[in-house]
Amino acid sequence: MKKEKAKDRIIRTASDLFYRQGFNSTGINQIIAEADIAIGSLYNHFSSKNDLLQAYLVKEEAEWFKGFEDQIKNSNSPKDKMLALIDYRKKLQDESTFAGCHFIKIISELGDSSPVISDFVKSHKEKQKIMIREILTQYGLETKSLDIDSVAEHIFLLIEGAVVTSTIDKNADAFAYIKKIIQGLLP
């Protein structure tokens, strides 16, 4: 196994700190200390702290979809895939001890002060919605009673609600609720 490169160590450390402490509460000095790297090296790889933030979000999005593909591997029916999506969001919350969604967190912290970040997050959530619609589409023509757009939005909003609620409550109860509801929504 090759030694982890400086740049990777920086971004891994920064990601972890941004997520756990928040972006503004994480200083450059802490990042370089925990990554065991010099400040000059950091600014050699990243032009600014904001640049590092963008790299963090890009990485998280890639890992999000990769992790979901993993979760869904053994699901065949559209219904199983949708339930796997709920299990996946629940798993992410469990494993982080309910630290919340990376993307909701950063928007909550930065507001609209950085349009690049706002646009990225909006686009990320849009991708998730599209994914939900694609799963619903796999039901095929036989279930034309299914209003795909409406059901997709309903499911998406329930999941987002469950994620923020479980973050506040520090437990996964909300996921049990929405799993039951969504099972009822699907044929």
Residues near DNA (CB under 7 A) are 5-7, 26-30, 37-41, 43-45, 47-50
Tokens found for residue 125: 């959530």
Under rule CB under 8 A, residue 110 binds its own copies: yes
Helix pair angle (49-72, 115-137), 10° resolution:
10
Which residue type is seen at 180? K
Judged by CB under 8 A, how many residues of this single chain contact its own copies?
Answer: 42
| 70 lies in the site for its own copies, by CB under 8 A | no
Among the listed residues 11, 31, 32, 107, the single contact to its own copies using CB under 8 A: 107
Does residue 142 touch its own copies according to CB under 8 A?
no
Selection from DNA, its own copies, none that 172 binds (CB < 5 to 8 A by kind) is none
Q: Is 169 in the site for its own copies (CB under 8 A)?
A: yes
- Selected binder of its own copies within 44, 63, 170, 187 (CB under 8 A): 170
Q: Is 183 in the site for its own copies (CB under 8 A)?
A: no
* Smallest separation (angstroms) from DNA to the CB of 43: 4
Nearer to its own copies, 116 or 157 (CB): 157
Q: How far apart are CA 137 and CA 131, in angstroms?
A: 10
Q: Select from 121, 135, 136, 186 the one that contacts its own copies (CB under 8 A).
A: 121
Residue 41 touches which of its own copies, DNA, none (Cβ within 5-8 Å per kind): DNA
Distance, in Å, from the CA atom of 1 to the CA atom of 117, rounded to the nearest integer, reads 34
- Residue 147: what are its φ and ψ, rounded to 5°? -85, 95
